[in-house]
């Protein structure tokens, strides 16, 4: 009974406040309605943009799958620019880099990927973006920079198997660059951190090769 009386008094006070502050109450209700309307419109527009971007990405990917790389490159560049900020546009940036690598446009791929990474892409694309950058740098005969990019790719991916492969590639390219100290460090890391995977076996083999080459008489 006491609880019911308290609720009744609270409702009475609320009604009294509305009577005394009618204009304020109407203003608040109107503001909330406008915010909800704008929010709904923004969300619907965002979803439409994402849907259009996905369709444009699918069309460009189809051109790439059919071997029409010039068309795929043109469509992807336009799609990335038009639908900037969408998930599809970020995925399209990576596909565009792959197409440019196939077209032997390594410098352009490197430039685009560096800008993309610096822009702070979604977490799911950071590892692949750094991996593609590393591959592009390796193709451009820059193994030391490629090795650093492979390490960044390894740090950005949550998948153990993929992480181990990126680390193996980092060690390999460090060795190509003549930095056997860094190569040894990473091979040792793989043998230590990925004991249950085949990558640990490969790392141990490469590590043994490096150590043998280091003690060969000149």
Query: Does one domain contain both 89 and 118?
Result: yes
What letter does residue 141 receive in the DSSP assignment? T
Query: Is position 8 within any domain?
Result: no
3-class secondary structure, 208: helix
Place of tokens 């995977």: 197
Express each pLDDT in 131-181 by its tens digit: 999 999 999 999 999 999 999 999 999 999 999 999 999 999 999 999 999
Query: Does one domain contain both 85 and 128?
Result: yes
Q: Is the dihedral of CA 190, 196, 198, 202 positive or negative?
A: positive
pLDDT in tens, the chain (218 residues): 555 555 555 556 555 655 666 666 566 565 565 565 555 554 565 678 899 999 999 999 999 999 999 999 999 999 999 998 899 999 999 999 999 999 999 999 999 999 999 999 999 999 999 999 999 999 999 999 999 999 999 999 999 999 999 999 999 999 999 999 999 999 999 999 998 888 999 999 999 999 888 665 54
Query: Does one domain contain both 151 and 77?
Result: yes
Cα 190 to Cα 17: distance, rounded to the nearest angstrom: 69
Radius of gyration of the chain, Cα coordinates, nearest whole angstrom: 28
For residues 167 and 186, the answer to whether their CB atoms sit within 8 Å is yes
Query: Does one domain contain both 90 and 118?
Result: yes
Place of tokens 């009475």: 12
Query: Is position 26 within any domain?
Result: no
- Largest Cα–Cα distance in the chain? 99
Which of 157, 178, 196 delimits the end of a domain? 157
Q: CA 172, 177, 180: angle at the middle one, nearest 5?
A: 65
| pLDDT for the residue numbered 34 | 53
Query: Is position 37 within any domain?
Result: no
For residues 73 and 102, the answer to whether their CB atoms sit within 8 Å is no
Cα 73 to Cα 100: distance, rounded to the nearest angstrom: 7
Cα 39 to Cα 61: distance, rounded to the nearest angstrom: 33
Domain containing 91: what range?
Answer: 60-157
3-class secondary structure, 133: helix
Domain containing 64 — which CATH number?
1.25.40.10
Q: Give the total number of structural domains in the chain.
A: 2
Query: Does one domain contain both 148 and 206?
Result: no
Query: Is position 86 within any domain?
Result: yes
């Amino acid at each position: 009974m006491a609880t019911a009386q308290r609720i009744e008094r609270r409702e009475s006070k609320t009604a009294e406040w509305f009577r005394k502050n009618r204009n304020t109450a109407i203003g608040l209700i109107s503001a909330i309605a406008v915010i909800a309307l704008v929010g709904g419109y923004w969300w619907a527009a965002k979803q439409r943009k994402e849907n259009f971007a996905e369709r444009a990405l699918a069309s460009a990917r189809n051109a790439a799958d059919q071997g029409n790389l010039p068309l795929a490159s043109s469509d992807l560049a336009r799609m990335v620019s038009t639908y900037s900020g969408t998930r599809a546009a970020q995925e399209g940036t990576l596909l565009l880099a792959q197409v440019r690598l196939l077209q032997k446009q390594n410098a352009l791929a490197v430039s685009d990927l560096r800008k993309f990474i610096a822009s702070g892409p979604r977490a799911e694309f950071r590892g692949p973006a750094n991996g593609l950058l590393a591959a592009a740098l390796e193709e451009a005969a820059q193994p030391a920079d490629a090795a650093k990019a492979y390490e960044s790719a390894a740090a950005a991916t949550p998948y153990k198997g993929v992480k181990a492969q990126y680390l193996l590639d980092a060690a390999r390219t460090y060795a190509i660059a003549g930095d056997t100290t860094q190569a040894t460090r990473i091979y040792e890391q793989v043998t230590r951190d990925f004991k249950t995977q085949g990558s640990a076996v490969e790392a141990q083999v490469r590590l043994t090769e490096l150590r043998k080459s280091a003690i060969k008489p000149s």
